[in-house]
Amino acid sequence: MRQLSSVISGRVLTPLALALWLAGCASAPEAVPERAWPPLPAHFSATQASAVSAPAAPTPAEGQWTLAPGAEAQARGAWWRPFMDPVLSDLVMRADLGNTRLQEAAARLAEARALLGTAEAARRPQVGANAGLQRQAGRGTLGGEQPSTTASLGLGASYEVDVMGRLSQASQAARQDARAQAALLQSTRLMVQADVAQTYLQLRSVQSEQALVDESLQALRDILQLTLRRERAGDVAELDLARVRAEAAATEAESLALQRQQALLTHALALLVGEVATGFSLPESGASFSVPVIPPGLPGTVLARRPDVSAAQAAVLAAQARLGVAQTAWFPAVTLTGAAGQASPELGDLFKWSARAWSAGALLSLPLFDGGRREAAQQGAQARLDAALAAYRGQVLTAFSEVEDQLRSLQWLEAQSEAQGRAVAAARRATALSATRYRHGLVSQIEWLDARRAELRNRRAELQVRTSQALATVSLVRALGGGWDGAEAQPQATAPGAPSLARLP
């Protein structure tokens, strides 16, 4: 009997010993391969070419913009303040509170944190209370053919021994999911702020453009009245009157189109700040907005600060942890259980010492044949990891591309603005000369109108170029992952080509 007991004991303990040995041999998932990120450039090509291809950009104002250490959790700062527009600042603050996309992102973050709490709870002992009252009759019961009652009251506990690290890796995956949602919330906030700023700047640009058109329209109406009187007096031909009427009508149509654009942009702002479009309006802004200059910094800071890149990185780590969870399905799971309480056929005897009952056990489970379910789950986890790696690499490439796009845009817009300024100055001079010659009867009215039309066209083009500079500046802020307040910024001395983003483990 003693020999049989040792044989049974050996057979029972062998699977557990095998599981522990496999746990010692199991290793964590491999580190993310080098193909996860492209080579990090030492500088942006647009900044290197700017000294040769375009006029030198002015240095940023002291205390407004500077470089900051790359960190995904670092505050992005009130980057919109250098535009020097209190209405814009108020709209951004209102959007931060009322935008529905931000509220959705915040809810998804709360859900991810709740799932993390669920994953963490699975690693802790589970304790529950139970109570029961059962009455039964029939052969084999305590009372024979007579009905009998059984009352029970106790506590039960269970704990899964994380031999293979399945629970810890599931918790790690949930933690990375929560980190990704936190980064996506920050990315959504930056996106909403940029949308508010760009929509507002477009609205102010259209308002300024309409002021130019209305000024020209009023002048044309005055010319029309003068031409009408001269036509009645026989001083000018009816053709001149028809030309002035056509010009005035076309300018009025442009003014109405600009009013329509204002209405659409105002409604878009109302949606962005989370308010009803009906009755939404903005106060008048006397001064025109200023366009700040933003240093791009080193490429590594872009990777470190962009929240969408951080979210993609967290998604890779979560997929990597879930691959580890799928791999542990091939190994046994060990669960410890225990229960203690009271059980008695008489309810009055339930709390007596003689009614005590307890149990303790250990369960080792290992699927032997599952029809390929575990293999398919591991292949699916590997595929999701490959997809996350590709998405991460794509996000990094997108970040570099967006920064280069906006730097190039600002570079050429600066040169375009300078050229357009010269065109406006020349057009104004041409209009003044044409007006003088027209008053002295040296040129026809159509030549004067052509000069005025050319001046208006050039002034509107100058305003549009300036607006494009402001929009590209906002896009650059977004591409860089946010701005920096002067009070919060800390200068960073980094060697060229040194990345600020730590590579994935």
Mean pLDDT on 368-387: 87
For the segment 30-35, the average pLDDT, to the nearest whole number, is 52
Tell me, what DSSP letter sits at residue 349?
A: G
Q: How confident is residue 120, by pLDDT bands cut at 50, 70 and 90?
A: confident
pLDDT of residue 166: 81
Q: How far apart are CA 310 and CA 6, in angstroms?
A: 56
- Tell me the average pLDDT across 240-255: 87
Residue 238, pLDDT score: 82
What is the model's pLDDT at position 33? 53
At 76, the pLDDT band (50, 70, 90 cuts) reads low
Q: Say if residue 502's pLDDT is above 70.
A: no
- Say if residue 397's pLDDT is above 80: yes
Residues 6+ apart with CB under 8 A from 308: 183, 184, 187, 395, 399
Which among 65-74, 174-183, 352-361, 491-500 has the top mean pLDDT?
Answer: 174-183
pLDDT at 26 over 60: no
Residue 454's identity, in one-letter code, is A
Average pLDDT over residues 332-358: 70
Closest CA to 319 of 226, 387, 416: 387
pLDDT computed for residue 307 by the predictor: 87
Please indicate whether residue 424 or residue 236 has the higher confidence score (pLDDT).
424
What share of the chain in percent tops pLDDT 70?
A: 73
CA 253 from chain centre, in angstroms, equals 40
pLDDT (average), residues 26-52: 56
Question: Is the domain covering 2-32+70-118+127-273+295-480 a CATH 1.20.1600.10 domain?
Answer: yes
Q: What is the pLDDT of residues 77-116, one digit of tens each?
A: 788 888 888 899 899 999 999 999 999 999 999 999 898 8
State the Cα–Cα distance between residues 489 and 79, nearest whole angstrom. Answer: 12
Across the chain, what does the average pLDDT equal? Answer: 76
For residue range 398-452, list pLDDT tens digits in order. Answer: 888 888 898 889 889 999 999 999 999 999 999 889 888 878 878 777 787 788 8
Q: Is the pLDDT assigned to residue 13 strictly greater than 60?
A: no
Most confident of 154-163, 262-271, 302-311, 394-403: 262-271
Do residues 332 and 364 lie in contact, with contact meaning Cβ atoms separated by under 8 Å?
A: yes
pLDDT above 70 (res 483): no
Spatial strand order of the sheet with 333-344 comes to 126-136, 148-161, 333-344, 356-365
